[in-house]
Structure 1
């Protein structure tokens, strides 16, 4: 398997991600999506942390404005609507299943971790559980890969096209 493409990361990227998260960033292997200013928005994390703990969330949203917008959207109850659409729209459900398979392939292209084999993120492939993970996947993979992540990204109050970074967390 081949490793998915990520931007290489710098020490400055890790400093920004740590500031965004409010804690030291762990086991960063790349920057999967960036703000228009160049700051990290989605970090790619090692599938097994250096502590030995399995970490199934390959694409982790670190950008505070994106995280806040996803949280607000989750609180609106839209996840139930998206889950119902998966039941009502077979084409959407099939695209979502394909997104799950692509996520697994991306992660296993880095490292196969038996404890999380078959588990992707965000409730894929049959339900909608975490918009943060689904938006992170959409930002990392690009439009058209994760249909629920794309819908959530379009519905949230944050846009990757507009910089909302703190001045000390902007990219170069």
Structure 2
């Protein structure tokens, strides 16, 4: 199991996530990764949303600067390069398969949803489909768990070690009494 320990989100954290997303946060069970300043970066989301919709993306990237960085990588055709790693390197392919199983195990702790059984996120275990999901998993699980998510983060212009929450479009952390 790779699930980092996290507590249920506070109302203030949910307000920040909602501001980051530009819509109400849904089904959040915890903050799985944070910015250097403490703002949410990745949320853990229940596999079935409150309205009953199956939701396979357990680790959901919410930080505006991080999502923008992954969008930039996707727009600059980095995904085929990362996908080639799966075909060319057996060790990376094996680690990516293990990341898929770890992701499924983490999500299963919050319920089984038959409609998404065996489906993780980001194209795992055999494709590279969504760098947002893969980076979210890499941030939540920590370095060395998801090699493609790690590679995407390493190639991006964003880092969780540098706060960019005050950049345009980024949500600021709310005051503790908010």
TM-score bucket of the superposed structures, by smaller chain: over 0.9
Give the structure 2 partner of residue 170 of structure 1: 173
Q: C-alpha deviations, 1:34-76, integer Å up to 9, x for none?
A: 1111110001111101101000000000100000000001111
Separation in structure 2 between the aligned mates of residue 154 and residue 2 of structure 1, nearest angstrom: 20
Deviation, 1:168, is: 5.7
Provide TM-score, normalisation by structure 2: 0.92
Separation in structure 2 between the aligned mates of residue 157 and residue 146 of structure 1, nearest angstrom: 19
Q: Which runs of 4+ in 1 moved over 3 A?
A: 1-4
Give the structure 1 partner of residue 128 of structure 2: 128
Q: Which range is displaced more, 93-102 or 75-84? A: 75-84
Paired residues, number: 172
Q: Do the aligned partners of residues 51 and 168 (structure 1) sit closer, same or farther apart at CA in structure 2, a change above 3 Å counting? A: closer
Alignment partner of 1:97 is 2:101 = no
Give the structure 1 partner of residue 50 of structure 2: 50
Q: C-alpha deviations, 1:92-127, integer Å up to 9, x for none?
A: 000000000000000111101000000000000001
Uncovered stretches (5+) of structure 2, i.e. residues with no partner: none
Give the structure 2 partner of residue 147 of structure 1: 147
Q: Do the aligned partners of residues 153 and 52 (structure 1) sit closer, same or farther apart at CA in structure 2, a change above 3 Å counting? A: same
Separation in structure 2 between the aligned mates of residue 145 and residue 2 of structure 1, nearest angstrom: 8
Deviation, 1:169, is: 1.4
Contact 1:2–1:109 (8 Å) recurs in 2: no
Q: CA RMSD in A?
A: 1.7
Separation in structure 2 between the aligned mates of residue 131 and residue 91 of structure 1, nearest angstrom: 20
Provide TM-score, normalisation by structure 1: 0.95
Separation in structure 2 between the aligned mates of residue 90 and residue 168 of structure 1, nearest angstrom: 40
Uncovered stretches (5+) of structure 1, i.e. residues with no partner: none
